[in-house]
Structure 1
Amino acid sequence: MTPRTLFSPRLALRPWRPEDLEPLFAINGDPDSMRHFPAPMTRAESDAWAERMQTHMEAHGWGFWVVEERGGAPFVGVVGLMTVPWEARFTPAVEIGWRITPGFRFRGYAEEAARAALDFAFGELHLPEVVSFTVPGNEGSWRLMERLGMRADGTFEHPRLPPGHPLRQHLLYRLAAPPGG
């Protein structure tokens, strides 16, 4: 399926290009950027993650898009939608997530891009709901979830992390499609 490109006032959410792998690794390999994940990724792990994102986008026409400034920086980060690939009390589900390059944080780009992705999820995909999740210590992400209108729905144990892992407990947020959406 042909991948879609989305636009917001300042940003384009576009399909992947080979030159996106290096700036993606700058996020995925950065200990500070990945502090709420089990570990920073190696270059091979980051490239494999990008390949999974590209494969999903090619199969569905949507997924995690590369975010670029319109008329500016070609890589701000990645924001998008993904089918949750494991079982939990809320699956099957589509999640929304984001990873923004450190130099572009605190400019509202994650929120702007996430709103464009949510508009697509509800307006074109007609999804009944989108979820998001993070560890309790990732206040920036769960605050963004709240600004997006998502509502907290308790916690869950992330099934891909072993029992006792300090990041296993996750907060779950949900956003239902707007009426008529």
Structure 2
Amino acid sequence: MIETPRLILRPWRDHDRAVFAAMGADAEVMQHLGPPVDRAGSDAIVDRLIAIQAVLGHTFWAVERRDTGAFIGFCGLKMAPLGIAGLSGFPEIGWRLARNAWGQGFASEAARASLDWGWSRGFARIVAMTVPANTRSQAVMQRIGMQRRPDLDFDHPLLAADSPLRPHIATEISR
């Protein structure tokens, strides 16, 4: 679907589920996302992403390496969650990679390709969000040209008031 020199971003396949579930069970991968997820929870995430693709024509797509065909995570665009002032109603870029794919530039490569796809579809503004402690994702956001928007920072409405993951920072990029 989207090809880069080293990656393919594509619709989800059933055989992605086991590797994605292993990612969701990895406490280090989930450190800034929430508690590790069991197989049923992981499959539910994949089901939601497939449903988003069916409705919108885009989602956080499966990412595989071109050289090995290995599934390494997801990246893409979906609509930002409802109820977040300044972000809701705009496409959100996001990524999650398996730990063995970290530090190799895959997230930035996939994110740039996702932005290009979004621009080619007429999106004028794309947003991203993460927790303040997630410096790796913030570095990717900076590398792909996103700008920090402290005025749009928020407490995630789906997380408990005492959750250390509730505070989120916001970034954006315009075409």
TM-score range for the pair, normalised by the shorter chain length: over 0.9
1:145 matched to 2:155: no
Q: Which residue of 2 aligns with 1:95?
A: 92
Letter matched to residue 97 of structure 2: I
How much has 1:61 moved relative to structure 2?
Answer: 2.1
What stretches of structure 1 move > 6 A for 4+ residues in a row?
A: none
State the 1:76 CA deviation.
1.4
Shift of 1:69: 1.2
Shift of 1:72: 1.2
Q: TM-score, normalised by structure 1?
A: 0.91
Shift in Å at residue 73 of structure 1?
A: 3.2
Match of 2:43 among 31, 37, 47: 47
**Residue equivalent to 2:23:** 27
User: Shift in Å at residue 71 of structure 1?
Assistant: 3.3
TM-score normalised according to structure 2 size: 0.94
Residue deviations 1:38-90 (CA, integer Å, cap 9, x gap): 21111111100000001111222221111111131330111111112321111
Counterpart code for 1:16: W
- Percent same amino acid at aligned positions? 37
What's the C-alpha RMSD, in Å, of the aligned pairs?
A: 1.0
Question: Which of 67, 70, 74 does residue 66 from structure 2 map onto?
Answer: 70
State the match for 2:105 in structure 1. 108
Structure 2 Cα separation of the partners of residues 165 and 101 of structure 1: 24
1:102 is aligned with what amino acid? R
CA contact (8 A) 1:86 1:159 kept: no
Greater shift in the superposed pair: 86-95 or 47-56: 86-95
The residue matched to 2:15 in structure 1 has which SS?
Answer: helix
Q: 1:112-123 maps to which residues of 2 (within 5 A)?
A: 112-123=109-120
One-letter amino acid of the counterpart of residue 168, structure 1 = R
Query: Does structure 1 residue 9 correspond to structure 2 residue 5?
Result: yes
Long gaps (5+) in structure 1: none
Q: Distance in 2 between matches of 1:152 and 1:73?
A: 34
Q: Which runs of 5+ in 2 are unaligned?
A: none
